[in-house]
Amino acid sequence: MEQVKVKCFGMDEEGKGLIKVRGRLVHVSNLLEGETAVVEVIQRKDFIKAKVIKIVEKSKDRVSSKCPYFIQCGGCQLQHMSYESQAEFKQQKIEKLMKPYGKVNKILTMQEPYYYRNKIHSTLAQGKNGKVISGIYEENTHNVIPIESCLIQDKRADEIVASVKEIMKSFKLRPYDEDSGQGFLRHVLIKTGFASNEIMVVLIVSSQVFPGKNNFIKLLLQKHPEITTIVMNINNRKTSVVLGEVEKVLYGKGYIEDTLCDCVFQISPKSFYQVNPIQTEILYEKAINMAKLTGKETVLDAYCGIGTISLIASRKAKSVIGVELNKDAVRDAVKNAKRNKISNVMFYNDDAGDFMVNLSKEKQNIDTVFMDPPRSGSDEKFLSSIVKLKPRQIIYISCNAVTQERDLNYLTKNGYKVEKIQPVDMFPHTSHVETVCLLERK
């Protein structure tokens, strides 16, 4: 290990500073473009990594992070930048990637960029002093960093996790240990309804046998009467996957509801629901407005999840087809349609690519496709089936502009033109940005 003075000449897509050490490019957390810093260099065979020891010359964009865990945690990559600079960083990132496709609209930011996450996942572990700790895994490791409170998640969730740890202690329940496979409680997952104020607590455990279960639940509810449902999820596999297959409702109805764009959605432990409800309304309204639906269209919502876009779009379309691979999400989507008394939507449990291949074989007429794929983007099977279907327009929503750009490249080479690009800051203080693009058939 040695310490060297360096100048940061740029930033990567994750918000890490770029420096040169011994002629090699190194990506460093907590370093902004233009800054001079002393860094500690660690070299392992072919791999060089560096850690900031001291900032010698600060950037005008640097602010003191409000979070005491910022350096250790790694969950928020940009807390050392002012919020205006974060927005500018994200704007430039999207402009650079989307340059071949046209002008990028100004990013839509948050008025209050704190405490916005409606879903938190806390991992439990045994601390050095035998105390139960909770937090997130340190980057590239399975060491849990203890975090008492988080500036980007619902405050009530932090209080509930603290109570779970306290009750565990009095019930002598041990956190699960990955190495030995011993211990009971693995994780706590909390989902909160932004409009409904409903709270779901999911206790992820290693065994069906829950010692003192009824008293544990009773005590948790005494401390937090605001909790509306508690679910036990059993995950007895040696895996980094958080949720297991088996679930048991211990209290309440086993799900929560929330309202988004005037539709009510049922959210279960396994279903995907956007984590920032304020910005999700803005994002979805932008996406639906881009489509300029008149009430005559047949709309396909690929990767439809629990039916959020499908149901919101259904009010302005003739009919909507939603397709989703996760069967739990499809079950929720069907219930959500009934709950909202919406009858012009059909949901299918299928791989989006396979489903669309069949639609194109059947020569089904689709006017508009909404697609919101996972971070990995779409595959060629899906994209080629869109091209065969020939919808008039595609609304592509993505949380990963790199894979989105790759897919736009394919679509623009196969008969489509990008007409609008709108970034939305869904994840303040992190390097992630959501982008919605409108493509029209040439």
Find the angle CA(80)-CA(434)-CA(294) to the nearest 5 degrees.
Answer: 150
Q: Are residues 283 and 432 in the same domain?
A: yes
Mean pLDDT of 212-218: 96
Nearest to 162 by CA among 150, 152, 148, 177: 148
300, pLDDT greater than 90: yes
Strands (E), 46-131: 47-57, 119-126
pLDDT in tens, 145-183: 899 999 999 999 999 999 999 999 999 999 998 888 889
Residue 166 lies inside a defined structural domain of this protein: yes
Distances, alpha carbon 215 to alpha carbons 170, 220, 257, 305, 414, in Å: 11, 9, 26, 35, 61
> What's the confidence (pLDDT) of residue 373?
92
Residue 270 lies inside a defined structural domain of this protein: no
78, pLDDT greater than 80: yes
The CATH number of the domain holding residue 43 is: 2.40.50.140
> What's the confidence (pLDDT) of residue 238?
79
Which of the four pLDDT bands, split at 50, 70 and 90, describes residue 128? confident
pLDDT in tens, 355-389: 988 888 887 889 999 999 988 999 888 999 899 89
Instruction: Identify the H or E element spanning 4.
Output: strand 2-7
Q: At what angle do helices 401-412 and 380-389 cross, to 10 degrees?
A: 40
Residue 81 lies inside a defined structural domain of this protein: no
DSSP string for residues in 181-249: ---SEEEEEEEE-TTT--EEEEEEES-S--TTHHHHHHHHHHH-TT--EEEEEE--SSSS-S--SEEEE
Task: Compute the distance between CA of residue 136 and CA of residue 189 in angstroms, rounded to an integer.
Answer: 12
> What's the confidence (pLDDT) of residue 341?
97
Which of the four pLDDT bands, split at 50, 70 and 90, describes residue 59? very high
Which of 18-22, 34-38, 184-188, 317-321 shows the lowest per-residue confidence on average (mean pLDDT)? 18-22
The CATH number of the domain holding residue 149 is: 2.40.50.1070
Q: Are residues 322 and 435 in the same domain?
A: yes
Q: Are residues 307 and 355 in the same domain?
A: yes
Q: Are residues 155 and 204 in the same domain?
A: yes
Which of the four pLDDT bands, split at 50, 70 and 90, describes residue 319? very high
End position of a domain, from candidates 259, 293, 318: 259
> What's the confidence (pLDDT) of residue 177?
87
Mean pLDDT of 111-120: 95
> What's the confidence (pLDDT) of residue 43?
83
Which of the four pLDDT bands, split at 50, 70 and 90, describes residue 248? very high
Mean pLDDT of 210-214: 93
> What's the confidence (pLDDT) of residue 12?
94
29, pLDDT greater than 80: yes
Q: Are 49 and 42 in contact (CB under 8 A)?
A: yes
Which positions are catalytic?
399
> What's the confidence (pLDDT) of residue 15?
93
Q: Are residues 395 and 290 in the same domain?
A: yes
Nearest to 378 by CA among 342, 358, 361, 403: 403
Mean pLDDT of 319-340: 94
> What's the confidence (pLDDT) of residue 91?
97
Q: Are residues 251 and 285 in the same domain?
A: no
Residue 179 lies inside a defined structural domain of this protein: yes
> What's the confidence (pLDDT) of residue 140?
72
* pLDDT, averaged across the chain: 93
49-56 long-range Cβ contacts below 8 angstroms, 24+ apart: 50/6, 50/19, 50/21, 50/26, 52/28, 53/3, 55/31, 56/5
> What's the confidence (pLDDT) of residue 160?
97
Which of the four pLDDT bands, split at 50, 70 and 90, describes residue 86? very high
Q: Are residues 305 and 432 in the same domain?
A: yes
> What's the confidence (pLDDT) of residue 64?
93
Distances, alpha carbon 354 to alpha carbons 151, 201, 207, 248, in Å: 41, 35, 37, 33
137, pLDDT greater than 90: no
Q: Are residues 176 and 243 in the same domain?
A: yes
Residue 177 lies inside a defined structural domain of this protein: yes
Containing structural domain, residue 18: 2-62
Percent of the chain residues past pLDDT 90, beyond the cut: 80
> What's the confidence (pLDDT) of residue 47?
80
> What's the confidence (pLDDT) of residue 415?
96
Task: Compute the distance between CA of residue 88 and CA of residue 92 in angstroms, rounded to an integer.
Answer: 6
Residue 350 lies inside a defined structural domain of this protein: yes
Q: Which two tokens stand for residue 293?
A: 């639906």
Q: Are residues 424 and 280 in the same domain?
A: yes
What are 200's strand-pairing partners? 191, 229
Domain count, the chain: 3
Mean pLDDT of 107-135: 93
Does residue 252 sit in helix, strand or coil?
Answer: coil
Q: Are residues 292 and 431 in the same domain?
A: yes
> What's the confidence (pLDDT) of residue 313?
97
Q: Are residues 47 and 165 in the same domain?
A: no
Residue 269 lies inside a defined structural domain of this protein: no
295, pLDDT greater than 90: yes
Percent of the chain residues past pLDDT 70, beyond the cut: 100
Q: Are residues 218 and 282 in the same domain?
A: no
> What's the confidence (pLDDT) of residue 381?
87
